[in-house]
Structure 1
């Protein structure tokens, strides 16, 4: 049942809707009969927990629900995950034949039980792929499996895959962050095995899908997100490759131990794909790793601008093991903003796909470190100024003896300042142009930007990118309790907060979405 939270300050009257969030929940389970406890070793494998904050008439209610009860029951009974995990170490006593039988459970033919998977990375509205469950909230992960949940109760309804819209979309891997524009969504599915194949596709809300490109020459890599512009889809194959075409998963039974060693000479490859179909060009750059793209757009000269939160290598994945997180060291200290420009992009595909070198426009300094980034929805796939995300000061994260936590602050990055060379890093003589919110005792999660409703006669082009508020879940370490914080998106000053009672905290989640219509209907 939902609980009403204590509100301090005043929520703006125009904020009326639901904030949905999802992420890891339980990190330890216990067999009630034997008393045996199973600890989850990697944060990405935490059992799914879905959250809902309803804001209406200045009041806030909160409810949550587990989303992977079947997985939890398997853990209690066997002490190990059914199938493949992200980083959990398998039980060495488990028989090899059981490993071979379970690890490659087909993602494209999910069982009827919607809680038999860990699906807790990104929520979306109405992504049922066949026109049904239009009001449902769809949870996604980096596997080709989705879970629809009831928008009121958060009860899981069904599990399904992209094979629902096209029979060739049967690979086990996909991106948590699909791209959406003009009632169409874009994503990829990766097939592992004897032949590794990326299939990039688009679909509408009615379940009509089209494969835009089939890529067979790319390394089989773990890609959490992709890019989109008004003309192109860009698949950036940064380095986080499965060794031996994914075969080690059979005996490792987790993704982390199946990744190939880092190769400093392995270029990142950008595949540029027409939104009507076909690969028009490839671009290469020195290698790097990333989780999240920030934004991308077609520039005035015909080139493509790509912004992302970049890491020098993929060792950051190791930093999400629970023992490292509990040490107080933030895993985000090596993250940097990077902008690429792709020049001389052909308009249409040709028989021979040309290859060019990507240009690094700039790499941001420590004052612009950003993760879990977002921009104003009307600014997607367009030139833009501001981006919001969580922030950590790398020097503090590495050296301070005080508790650091997953993220220390919220940042508002000014890309206009970033694109000026002298402003890519702050110095005493050149203070940072970016805004940062932080508190001594509040640790923030991902900020979700909610824009103010348009005034009569006003268009989206007239509205400033920061005309709204940020909603973020925080942990107050002084009370051991969580809450919902509202910041002014222009100034990053606090407007209001809604708090759970002392001692009641919400597990640090991953991503959220705002649904204005849900509560106002």
Structure 2
């Protein structure tokens, strides 16, 4: 792979104006904040997995055709321990902290009480937060990227694992997510949030809970797809292994779809289908007594192992995900599935504000040229889910990140807007912001950054506040 720069530590923090090549639409005003790992070594240890690196925020500001860029590390307890003492002090996804066996047992590090919020960002309108898969959100200032502190809530909902992909309920605007609490009998608690208060909507007990990075909502439902990558919670306490290495792939269990009614939390469908694995849901919606769920799927959980740093920095193969539709019959008729397109498709995004949880036509993601497994994700893909037709953007030696859709104000078409993607130029050893017309998938503009930005995960665009 020519992508090692995407998995190397970035020590520079800058605040610069970028030179724009091309012309940005005059209506594009606001901020894109992206999140991802950017420090993979400390003075006394190294992280083992892409998902473990310490979080850095990257802010692109847009106004009057100009672009600014700023990056800052998220100054959490996890980061401060690495900076000040050189220690990996908290259990990460696939890296244990630097502690003795005695200390490990009595502090349960594998329950991942890390504040290293390196996955996503979300806004509640007044405040901005960085998120990871532990229920510890970190507030930051959107303009300066300064870390404000850990979030607090006016409730007693607790748990060990959550998702960094909360959803806005399409009809109410409530933030919806779940927390998983491990125990003799573990339980998923789906909740809705208004302001600083969270309210439990539904609970689902589980003897062997599965690893789920995301979930789906529709106008009327919440959908959990429980993949058969499962854990015995006792293993997290008794086995001297990092968090994810306690999970086991059990394909004989199949994948379980549980559909909850948003009004009262009741289970309206509980069906199983063939085993598969996924990180990301694309979208979901209700249709004629069914729930349609589109997911970027892998045949098994091998992709987790493929993303250890020694593999992605070397010549390891990267399994491909493909967009797949699952239709869950709410009257007990089981699940039908079909692949939506032949192109690989990960880090999916849609016109979220107008089509999340509703019938839609277009999705945008990253993929591998010719579905190859010997290189990293090297193309952007626009998918028409109704026809399976795809459009691709690809330049040799360049590796794009998640494409964030920004709608044209007052636009009528679902794909009327632009896509923002951070792209690594492997040969030049630096990254840039690429802006595509979402309808035609042609380049509008780009702006180079003075360094390589490590491959990140997710970001959000927020229009300039009045």
8 A contact 2:163–2:214 mirrored in 1: yes
- TM-score normalized by the length of structure 2: 0.91
CA distance in 1, matches of 2:372, 2:111: 44
Q: Is the 8 A contact 1:202 1:211 kept in 2?
A: yes
- The secondary structure found in structure 2 opposite 1:323 is helix
Query: Residue 359 in 1 paired to residue 341 in 2?
Result: no
1:252, 1:449 → 2: CA distance?
A: 42
CA distance in 1, matches of 2:56, 2:317: 22
Partner of 1:466: 415
**2:63 equivalent to 1:56:** yes
3-state SS of the aligned residue for 2:159?
A: coil
Residue from 424, 427, 430 that aligns with 1:478: 427
Q: 1:97 to 1:359 in 2, by over 3 A?
A: same
Q: 1:76 to 1:210 in 2, by over 3 A?
A: closer
Judged with a 3 Å threshold, the aligned counterparts in structure 2 of structure 1 residues 78 and 140 are, in CA distance, closer, same or farther, namely same
> For residues 28 and 390 of structure 1, what CA distance do their matches in structure 2 show?
27
Which secondary structure does the structure 2 equivalent of 1:417 belong to? coil
How many angstroms apart in 2 are the aligned matches of 1:317 and 1:394? 22
Instruction: Indicate the residue corresponding to 2:250 in structure 1.
Output: 263
Distance 1:304 1:80 in 2: 46
Out of 436, 454, 459, the residue aligned to residue 392 of structure 2 is 436
Structure 1 partner of 2:3: none
2:361 corresponds to: 385
- How many Å separate the matches in 1 of 2:63 and 2:464? 11
Matched with 1:458 is none
Distance apart, 1:225 and its partner CA: 0.8
Question: 1:253: how far off?
Answer: 5.0
1:122 aligned partner: 120
Structure 1: runs of 5+ lacking an equivalent? 31-36, 111-115, 127-133, 346-354, 399-403, 419-432, 456-462
Does residue 270 of structure 2 align to residue 321 of structure 1? no
Query: 2:218 aligned with 1:229, yes or no?
Result: yes
The separation in 2 between residues aligned to 1:105 and 1:217, in whole angstroms, is: 19
Q: Secondary structure at the match of 2:373?
A: helix
Question: 2-side partners of 1:509 and 1:395: how far apart?
Answer: 21
Q: How big is the shift at 1:395?
A: 4.8
- Describe the SS at the equivalent of 1:49: strand
Give the equivalent residue in structure 2 for 1:151.
142
Contact residue 32 and residue 60 of structure 2 kept, 8 A: yes
Is it true that 1:100 corresponds to 2:105 in the alignment? yes
**1:466 counterpart SS class:** coil
Q: CA deviation at 1:315?
A: 1.3
8 A Cα contact 1:83 1:103, kept in partner: no
| Secondary structure, aligned partner of 1:265 | helix
Q: CA RMSD in A?
A: 2.2
Partner in structure 2 of residue 429 of structure 1: none
Provide TM-score, normalisation by structure 1: 0.81
Distance in 1 between residues matched to 2:39 and 2:130, nearest whole Å: 17
Aligned with residue 207 of structure 1, among 192, 196, 214: 196
Consecutive unaligned residues of structure 2, counting only runs of 5 or more, are 1-13
1:10 Cα deviation (Å)? 0.8
Indicate conservation of the 8 Å contact 2:229/2:250, yes or no: no
Helix, strand or coil for the counterpart of 1:24? Answer: strand
Does the CA-based 8 Å contact 2:320-2:345 persist in structure 1? no
Maintained 8 Å contact 2:56/2:72: yes
Structure 1 residues 73, 138: closer, same or farther in 2, change over 3 A? closer
- C-alpha distance in structure 2 between counterparts of 1:250 and 1:90, whole Å: 15
2:11 equivalent in structure 1: none
CA-CA distance at 1:103 after TM superposition: 2.7
Question: 420, 435, 446: which is aligned to 1:497?
Answer: 446
- Say if 1:449 and 1:368 are closer, same or farther in 2 by CA, change over 3 A: same
1:147-193 alpha-carbon deviations (Å, 9 max, x no partner):
110111111112136xx2432x2111111111112321111111112
**Which of 369, 380, 384 matches 1:414?**
384
Secondary structure at the aligned position of 1:368 is classed as coil
Equivalence map 1:34-433=2 (5 Å):
37-68=44-75, 70-75=77-82, 81-88=88-95, 94-103=99-108, 117-126=115-124, 134-160=125-151, 164-167=153-156, 169-181=157-169, 182-204=172-194, 206-217=195-206, 219-242=208-231, 244-260=232-248, 262-277=249-264, 278-299=266-287, 301-329=288-316, 331=318, 333-345=319-331, 357-360=334-337, 362-365=338-341, 367-377=342-352, 378-393=354-369, 395-398=371-374, 404-405=375-376, 407-418=377-388, 433=389
Q: Deviations over 1:41-71 (max 9, x none)?
A: 1010001101100011111110011114532
Q: Per-residue deviation at 1:222?
A: 1.4
Separation in 2, partners of 1:217, 1:9: 53
* Deviation string, structure 1 residues 294-346 (Cα, Å, up to 9, x no partner): 000011x2211010001111111011101111125563x3311111111134x
Contact 2:320 2:368 in 1 (8 A): no
> How far is the alpha carbon of 1:209 from its aligned partner?
3.0
Q: Residues 41 and 89 of structure 1 are in contact (CA less than 8 Å); yes or no, is this contact kept in structure 2?
A: no
Q: What residue in structure 2 maps to residue 3 of structure 1?
A: 16
Q: Distance in 2 between matches of 1:73 and 1:409?
A: 36
- How far has the Cα of 1:228 moved from its partner? 0.7
After superposition, the C-alpha distances for 1:3-23 in whole angstroms (9 at most, x for unaligned) are 001111111111011001101
